[in-house]
Amino acid sequence: MKSLEEYLVLAEQSHGHMCPGQVLGVRMAMLGLRELGIEDPIRHRKRLLTYVEIDRCATDGVSLVTGCRLGKRSLKFVDYGKVAATFVDLEAGRAVRVLAREDSRAKAKQMFPELANESKQQLEAYKVMADADLFVVQPVRVAPRPEDLPGRSRSRVACDACGEGINDGRERAVNGRVLCRSCAGESYYERVTSDE
Ligand SMILES: [Zn+2]
Ligand SMILES: [Zn+2]
């Protein structure tokens, strides 16, 4: 594992700016990995799975440190709107959830009252606050489904309605037909026709 300072330089580069979320994300991942006893996340990336609970700044810091990425299926986004992440050691069968504490914002304000705004206060405070003041660590159990794990696709079928290919068991069985989630009524988009 690199040092916090080294990670923050890399985080600023890949995230595009430095912000309290980068510090939280980087520290959250460093703590989670230490709790799991994983010293070198890049060497152990095959055994690591990370669930992030928010799609905001901190998530980029978590991804940077763990090396877990959406495109590798090692980063899972669960939309809870919480600054929290769960780190899973697939080999050891252990997992730990790390949650940013609500009261760390007020604490940052107390620590750096001279700084101009909350963002600057948090940025500086989050770099130096003790882990226990910043995070809550919970041992948890996570049982990922085989079809959610990294590696080759477990299955591939075509949707009976639109014909598009569907990987890893994401199809739905509806009245004897095999449908993609979109055709099964779970679509996030609506087709635009040419006369609109
Ligand atoms: Zn940011
Ligand atoms: Zn379909």
pLDDT confidence bin for 46, thresholds 50/70/90: confident
- What is the distance in A from the centroid of ligand 1 to the CA of 141? 30
- What is the distance in A from the centroid of ligand 2 to the CA of 196? 22
CB 161 within 8 A of CB 177: yes
Stretch 54-67: mean pLDDT, rounded?
A: 97
pLDDT at 116: 86
Place of tokens 């080759």: 152
How many CA atoms lie within 13 Å of 154's alpha carbon, on the beta-carbon side? 11
- What is the distance in A from the centroid of ligand 1 to the CA of 122? 12
Stretch 41-65: mean pLDDT, rounded?
A: 94
Place of tokens 């963002």: 119
pLDDT tens column, 168-194: 999 999 999 999 999 999 999 998 988
- What is the distance in A from the centroid of ligand 1 to the CA of 78? 19
Ligand nearest to the CA of 180: 2
pLDDT tens column, 107-132: 999 999 999 899 999 999 999 999 99
- What is the distance in A from the centroid of ligand 2 to the CA of 80? 27
How many angstroms separate the CA atoms of 11 and 20, rounded?
A: 11
Weakest-pLDDT range from 28-32, 147-151, 164-168: 147-151
pLDDT at 195: 78
- What is the distance in A from the centroid of ligand 1 to the CA of 39? 26
Stretch 7-36: mean pLDDT, rounded?
A: 97
- What is the distance in A from the centroid of ligand 1 to the CA of 128? 18
Is the pTM above the cut of 0.95? no
- Per the rule left: phi > 0, alpha: psi between -120 and 50, beta: everything else, 178 is beta
Ion ligand 2 residue ranges (Cβ < 5 Å):
159, 161-162, 180, 183
Stretch 87-102: mean pLDDT, rounded?
A: 97
DSSP E strand boundaries for 42-143: 48-52, 75-77, 84-89, 94-100, 135-140
Examine the pLDDT at 45 and tell me if it is beyond 90.
no
How many angstroms separate the CA atoms of 177 and 171, rounded?
A: 10
